[in-house]
């Protein structure tokens, strides 16, 4: 008899990843005034060992991607925009969206993947082979935190010239694209460190303790990311973004059928495949780098994009 494969929870990796997610989200907000939402980024930009892939086959992958695309477009957000950034702002809209897609994903996972996930063994509290992720994350976050502390501002302000304010404004504006790049990179590293890019580990979390396959790794990620994000949003924001511009936090507070229905559709897609936009992008980038499973990653992303277009046309 072939032994059932086992999975080891990664509490330390996930906790550090949660800190990385929180700091990267906060950095983009404080520096540029923007909210890092991966589904919104994908939709808006496209309108104007090997990689980890789902085990649902092409049909399941395409269906899941399509549902995630429709759902995130209707609900205007996914796990990053609603579950982390939105809940840290105490947004009622994000709370309803999160409860809708999370509960739906749990129900779908219970039925769709019952008995097919590895059993969970003892937790692994080491960093294992992810030490390099921690080093890379630290290297990226250090310049972001320096910018938040306004060290570049102080360097220019020391010139005491009449043109210093103009030069300072131009300098800060030129750093906005760099802030986007570094925060996105830190966010991606954190997703990988916290195992959000592993569909099986995500699904093993969504089965909850009702199953012997339950893996609490992502609970440690959320347990470090959410409290820190709340504290940073409440007490760590300046009066205006450090690199200029206006605050671009969502102002829509409407809770309607579009929000709930979109969140439910997203939850169905998430429960089928265990993938949401951020991890899917990270895995696709890994696939391009290694040359493996490119078609699987591309099929999920393309079906998600098509789902976003379909949502615009039909709703």
Q: pLDDT-based confidence at 296, cuts 50/70/90?
A: confident
Q: Is 238 a domain residue?
A: yes
b/e map 102-134, b = 16+ CB within 10 Å = bebbbebbeebbeeebbebeeeeeeeeebeebb
Residue 219, domain member (yes or no): yes
% of the chain residues with pLDDT over 90: 35
Strand stretches in 101-181, DSSP E: 119-120
- Short-list 313, 314, 304, CA closest to 71: 304
Report pLDDT for 25: 86
Which of 60, 37, 167, 38 lies closest to 113 in space, CA to CA?
A: 60
- The answer as to whether 283 is a domain residue is yes
> Does 28 map to a domain?
yes
> Looking at per-residue confidence, does 183 or 67 come out higher?
67
- On whether residue 2 sits in a domain, the answer given is no
Q: What is the pLDDT of residue 39?
A: 55
Q: State the pLDDT confidence band at 4, using cuts at 50, 70 and 90.
A: low
Total number of domains constituting the chain: 1
Phi, psi of 153 (to 5 degrees): -60, -45
Looking at the domain assignment, is residue 99 inside a domain?
Answer: yes
Domain that holds residue 113: 7-45+52-314
Q: Which residue has the higher pLDDT, 155 or 231?
A: 231
Where are any strands of DSSP class E within 110-233? 119-120
Its pTM stands at: 0.85
- The answer to whether 94 and 77 are in contact (CB under 8 A) is yes
- 7-66: pLDDT as tens digits: 889 999 999 999 998 988 888 888 888 876 555 544 444 444 444 555 667 888 899 999
Domain-located, residue 1? no
Q: Look at residue 93 and tell me if it is in a domain.
A: yes
- pLDDT computed for residue 175 by the predictor: 78
Give me the torsion for CA of 273, 277, 278, 282, rounded to 10°: 70
Is the pLDDT at 185 greater than 60? The verdict is: yes
Instruction: Give the span between the Cα atoms of 231 and 89, in whole angstroms.
Output: 10
166 — pLDDT class (breaks 50, 70, 90): low
Q: Name the token pair of 153.
A: 């501002």
Per residue in 103-126, pLDDT tens?
Answer: 999 999 998 888 888 888 889 998
């Amino acid at each position: 008899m072939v032994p059932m494969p086992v999975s080891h929870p990664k509490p330390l990796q996930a906790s550090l990843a949660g800190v990385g997610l929180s700091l990267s989200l906060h950095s983009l907000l404080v520096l540029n005034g923007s909210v890092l939402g991966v589904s919104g980024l994908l939709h808006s930009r496209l309108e104007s060992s090997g990689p980890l892939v789902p085990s649902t086959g092409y049909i399941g992958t395409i269906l899941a991607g399509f549902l995630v695309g429709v759902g995130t477009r209707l609900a205007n957000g996914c796990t990053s925009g609603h579950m982390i950034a939105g809940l840290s702002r105490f947004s009622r809209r994000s709370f309803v969206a999160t409860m809708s897609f999370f509960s739906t994903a749990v129900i779908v996972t219970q039925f769709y993947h019952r008995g097919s996930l590895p059993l969970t063994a003892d937790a692994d509290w080491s960093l294992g082979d992810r030490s390099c992720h921690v080093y890379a994350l630290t290297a990226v976050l250090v310049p972001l935190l320096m910018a938040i502390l306004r060290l570049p501002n102080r360097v220019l302000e020391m010139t005491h010239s009449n043109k210093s304010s103009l030069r300072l404004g131009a300098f800060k504006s030129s750093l906005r694209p760099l802030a986007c790049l570094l925060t996105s990179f830190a966010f991606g590293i954190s997703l990988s460190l916290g195992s959000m890019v592993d569909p099986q580990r995500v699904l093993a979390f969504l089965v909850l303790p009702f199953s012997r396959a339950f893996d609490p790794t992502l609970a440690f990620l959320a347990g470090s990311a959410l409290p820190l994000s709340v504290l940073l949003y409440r007490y760590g924001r300046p009066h205006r973004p450090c690199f200029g511009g206006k605050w671009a936090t969502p102002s829509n507070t409407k809770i309607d059928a579009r929000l709930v229905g979109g969140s439910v559709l997203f939850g169905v897609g998430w429960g089928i495949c265990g993938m949401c936009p951020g991890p899917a992008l990270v895995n696709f980038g890994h696939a391009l780098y290694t040359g493996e499973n490119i078609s699987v990653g591309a099929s999920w992303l393309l079906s998600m994009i098509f789902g976003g277009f379909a949502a615009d046309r039909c709703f």
